A = this chain, B = another copy of it.
Amino acid sequence: MSTDNLDNINGTYFDSYEDLEIHQLMLADKPRQDAYQSAILGSRDLFKDKTVLDVGTGTGILSIFCAQAGVKKVYAIEASNLARLAREVVRENGFEQVIEVFECKVEDFQLPSGADKVDIIVSEWMGFFLLHEGMLDSVIYARDKFLKPNGLMFPDTASILVAPCSVPNRFDDFDCLSGVSMKAFGRELRKQKADKPEILNVAAEHLLHEGHIMTWLDLKEVSTEDLNSFDMKEVMVIQNPGKFQGVCIWFDCTFPSVDSSPQNGVVLSTNPKCPATHWKQSVILLPEDACEEVDKLDPIAFSLSLTRNSDNCRRYNLQLTLLDVEKEEHGLPCDCVMTKCILMKAHLQKMEVE
């Protein structure tokens, strides 16, 4: 990609964040806010007297949580002109001695001369299906350049999860709407929006499976190259019967905690079973003629790939392929209803008994 092109993409990207309505949406997202607030204020011992880099501070709220947690210094970086607003918010909270806001890309940022590397990087970089927006690259850049060895990342892990689902409000609701058959409308709507995943709230009861992890990222280790493509190929055994009409993608992030035991850490989850966030879920709808009614223990098979778009590194191409359950290799043991799996399971159980 030419630098010109990247400049264009970045220009559009940072401009979009100057529309305050986006920030209003994020600030109104309570699960998002609560997760960062609990993770930071619940770990005051980790933050006390430390230096923090806040990558993409936006309105500055994460930097303020850090200041409330007793840090010595926050370098808050914001590439859009929202930096000026963040500076005002810092002032109105009385933290201008603690938080310094820099209006620049993190790639152009330099630590003040004489300043040490930072102890902690805080950032809210997640996009739809985790990777959309491609902002994690900047956080990785910041980590490699500015974070002390053994420094902390908030969040420090991210997982992408995937499950088959029903999407009645894209399919079945149009079968009879106020006593009128509107199937043609539903069909046309799906066609019009087929070029990208649908961002919508999937109801927990519309998941046909609790979900499998597509990828798990250790944010202290992951590299930019690791983000270029992700693949999964799965045979999933249906847990809740229903109409298989789409594949639902969501993400979870975890944060470090004082006693570093995972069960005490905060999780920001965009699972359909958790309170809704502004990320909702990303759903790849199936073509209508590929949809089928599935029963408990039916196997379904598909492959899914997320590949960075070669023209716009902030975007990903998603590719879903339905596979033939007869031809794919199933788990071992597999709970599905297919004869070969029932036989194999019985055989394995018999061996275990003997």
Of the candidate stretches A114-122, A180-188, A283-291, the one touching chain B is: A180-188
Q: Assess the A20–B189 pair: CB atoms within 8 A.
A: yes
A89 touches B181 (CB 8 A): yes
Is A150's CB within 8 Å of the partner chain B? no
Is there an interface contact between A184 and B92, defined as CB atoms closer than 8 Å? yes
* Residues from 50 to 68 in A contacting B, C-beta threshold 8 Å: 59, 61, 64-65, 68
Give the distance to chain B from A232, nearest Cβ to Cβ, in Å.
30
Q: Which residues of B contact A112 (CB under 8 A)?
A: none
Q: Are A20 and B185 in contact (CB under 8 A)?
A: yes
Shortest CB-to-CB span from A88 to chain B, Å, is: 4
B85 touches A177 (CB 8 A): no
Tell me whether A92 and B181 are in contact in the complex, defined as CB-CB below 8 angstroms, given that A85-B188, A188-B85 are known contacts.
yes
Q: Scoring A residues 1 to 43 as 1 if CB is less than 8 Å from chain B, else 0, what string do you get? A: 0000000000000000001110110011000011001000000
CB of B188 within 8 A of CB of A20, answer yes
Shortest C-beta distance, A270 to chain B (Å), equals 19
Is A192 in the interface zone, CB < 8 Å from B? yes
Partner of A178, one of B33, B92, B189: B33
Q: Report the Cα distance A61→B185, complex, angstroms.
A: 11
How far is B101's CA from A184's CA once the two chains are assembled, in angstroms?
A: 15
Residues of chain B within 8 A (CB-CB) of A33 are: 177-178
User: Min CB distance, A62 to chain B, in Å?
Assistant: 10
Bound Cα distance from A182 to B37, whole angstroms: 15
Q: Is A339 an interface residue (CB 8 A)?
A: no
Oligomer copy total: 2
Q: Name the B residues within 8 Å of A34 (CB-CB).
A: 178
Give the residues in chain B near A89, CB-CB below 8 Å.
Answer: 180-182, 184-185
C-alpha spacing A265/B74, complex, angstroms: 63
How big is the A interface, by class? 35 or more
B residues less than 8 Å from A27 (CB atoms): 177, 182, 185
Q: Which residue of B lies closest to A169 (CB)?
A: B28
B20-A183 in contact (CB<8A): no
Query: Is A261 positioned at the interface, with any CB of B under 8 Å from its CB?
Result: no
Interface status of A113 (Cβ within 8 A of chain B): no
Nearest to A63 among chain B residues (CB) is B180
Known pairs A37-B178, A37-B179, A178-B33; A24 contacts B189 (CB<8 A): yes
Residue of A33, A91, A182 most packed against chain B (CB within 10 A): A182
A93 adjacent to chain B (CB < 8 Å):
yes
* CA A37 to CA B21, docked complex, whole Å: 35
Interface string of A290-328 (1 = CB under 8 A from B): 000000000000000000000000000000000000000
A262 to chain B, nearest CB (A): 24
Residue pairs across A and B with Cβ atoms less than 8 A apart, 15 shown, are A19-B192, A20-B192, A21-B189, A27-B182, A33-B177, A34-B178, A37-B178, A61-B178, A64-B180, A85-B185, A85-B188, A88-B184, A89-B182, A89-B184, A91-B184
**What would 4 more interface pairs be, CB under 8 Å, given A61-B177, A68-B180?**
A21-B193, A23-B189, A64-B180, A89-B181
